[in-house]
Chains A and B, each alone.
Chain A
Amino acid sequence: MKRNFPLLLVFVFGILGIIPFILPHPMVQNTDEFLRNNLLKILAAFALILGLGSLLRVHFDKIRRKGQNWEYSWVLIGTFVVTSIIGLFGGVSGTGILPTRLGSFAFDIWTIYFNIEVPLGAAMFALLSFFMASAAYRAFRARSTEATLLLASAFVVMLGVLPLGNEISPHLPSFAQWIMDVPNVAGQRGILFGVALGMLATALKIILGIERSWLGGGGE
């Protein structure tokens, strides 16, 4: 029962997930919307509580064990508490019960999101350019025939999108575009065919209960 019930649930909800794709009738679509918008949200809410519980447990445990950089765990817990209070009582955009303004600074989730999370995320994203440079250096070292081909095509594409490329030869931009449109797209489509078939096979295997790794493996 412990194994069969989850398998039955997956089968039923897997089929319920496929049917709305081909049956547009409101009876089917409304059921699908209820499952996705209502039921999944309730499940997500419970999962979020479990998730946040796990996050706090890990960091309290780290503080207790005095693990490496344990002091930062206090930062996490502190900001978690402050953000939660502002979120619960300050509202989304200053409509809560907190005295939500100090001068021009509003204590609400939008303020925190736009003034803290967005800049921090942007800072991480900005790191990407440096990582890209180091990855490009590694990728473009001509150690083998394939790597040399990669280097040559990258060189052509880079030159082709620069004004300098047009100065060297007016055919260079169109050749660079050809590399992007033909060999590049051909390779991508080849991968996508495999991905589509792999998705279909994985979905079938899970819905029919053949793939049980998500149950911890085996059908035993």
Chain B
Amino acid sequence: MTFIILASIFALVPPTAVRAYDTPDDRGGAITIEWQLSADDAQLQRYEIYRSENGIDYEKIGLIGRGRNQIEDDTEDNKQYIYKVAAVVDSVRAFSEPSSTVMSSAQWLNRKKINIIIAVIVFGGLILFFIQHARRGRELFVREIAGLHAIDDAVGRATEMGRPILYCPGIGYIEDIATIASLNILGEVAKKCGQYETKLINPHFDPIVYTVAREIVKESYTNVGRPDAFDPDSVYYVTDSQFAYAAAVDGIMLRERPATNFLVGWFRAESLILAETGASTGAIQIAGTDQVSQLPFFVTACDYTLIGEELYAASAYISREPLLLGAIKGEDWGKVIIGAVLIAGSIIGLLTVFPIMSVFD
């Protein structure tokens, strides 16, 4: 009788329905194990996961707290495995039935990203359509962007004052799109500097961005027929330390007194330090970044700010190249689609919230 009572106290209900499967959408080397929680889950200390290659010898490969029913195991591809899960209290273990045999393998396509691929195809297709549209010579209207409209005036002002132009591309790396967009604008600004024979100062944070920028500025001077005006020392590397870079650029602003400061690219906390120092020197400041957290600082301390997408539109706007303008039109239609989806979603959401209109419940 005593034996029966003790056995009923210590007899744990094991987890059931153990299922092991190759982790989907991965590069292989992983199997996911799932199970139904034990009926005694609330009393358990943990679950232990055991693995076997032959169905006889099991080794413990991991453990997980109660209330949880999934774990991922690192495996060798194309090798068969069987799993068991044990419910554990102290030294008492209740083992589940073994899973069916499973092996991991690498997948070619990540299906979780299909929605992103479709969105990229739709929006990319729109952009390419409008580029093609522009290629056929159709006139495209692009609204005036004050910050870009001011570039000519800013370069002209520097020329009249006999002072240099400072172009700061921020602390981004070459893989940051904001840095690439900044380099595109740098090319156009350098052309104007070449035309007006205005000195350009272009300090850099990243050595790769520096080498690319140097070639861009050199080519820009060549393209406007002034290769002789290009000063190789006008584009230079400073440091890859964030605040040392900010200190260096502040120093340039205070010593060289540029008539115009371009703060265009990828910025972090140094944005306000640069923009406020520039404002104190009385320079015209044109800033632009896609970093939402830094935009308020630029808006406050600079004369013109390129907000988000305006940064990407800048090169097209300045060069007025029809193909590039076509891409901007495509972006606008992309926004129309997103706006329409948001409005439709909001309406559906509202219809769901109000019981009287519970069309989509």
Set of chain B residues within 8 Å of A220, measured between Cβ atoms: 223
Instruction: Answer yes or no: A12 CB below 8 A from chain B CBs.
Output: no
Residue of A47, A58, A117, A199 touching B312 (CB-CB under 8 A): A199
Instruction: Report the separation of the CA atoms of residues A124 and B251 in the bound assembly, to the nearest whole angstrom.
Output: 12
What's the Cα separation between A200 and B211 when bound, in Å?
25
Chain A nearest CB from B235 CB (Å) reads 8
Measured between beta carbons, the chain B residues less than 8 angstroms from A123 are: 243
Q: How far is the CB of B249 from chain A (nearest CB, A)?
A: 11
| Distance in angstroms between the alpha carbons of A166 and B247 in the assembled complex | 41
Give the nearest-CB partner of A17 in chain B.
B175
Docked pose: A47 CA to B313 CA in angstroms: 29
Size bracket of the A interface:
35 or more
Given A23-B110, A25-B108, A54 and B210 touching (CB < 8 A)? Answer: yes
Q: Is the interface of A mostly helix, strand, loop or mixed?
A: helix
Q: By the criterion CB–CB under 8 Å, are A216 and B276 in contact?
A: no
Identify which of B10-18, B43-51, B145-153, B183-191 touches chain A.
Answer: B183-191
Whether A195 pairs with B308 at a CB distance below 8 angstroms is: yes
Counting residue pairs across A and B whose Cβ atoms lie within 8 Å, the total is 211
Q: By the criterion CB–CB under 8 Å, are B335 and A50 in contact?
A: no
Interface residue tally on B, bucketed by range = 35 or more
Q: Is A114 part of the binding interface, using a Cβ–Cβ cutoff of 8 Å?
A: no
* Residue B79 CB within 8 A of the other chain: no
B26 within 8 A of A: yes
Contact of A22 with B181 in the complex, beta carbons under 8 Å = no
Q: A198 touching B312 by the CB < 8 A rule?
A: yes
| Chain B residues in the interface with A (C-beta under 8 A) | 25-28, 106-110, 113, 117, 120, 123-124, 127-128, 131, 177, 180-181, 183-185, 187-188, 191, 204, 207-208, 210-212, 214-220, 222-223, 232-233, 235-238, 241-244, 246-247, 255, 269-270, 272-273, 275-277, 290, 292, 295-297, 299-301, 307-309, 311-313, 315-316, 319, 323-324, 327-328, 330-331, 334-335, 338
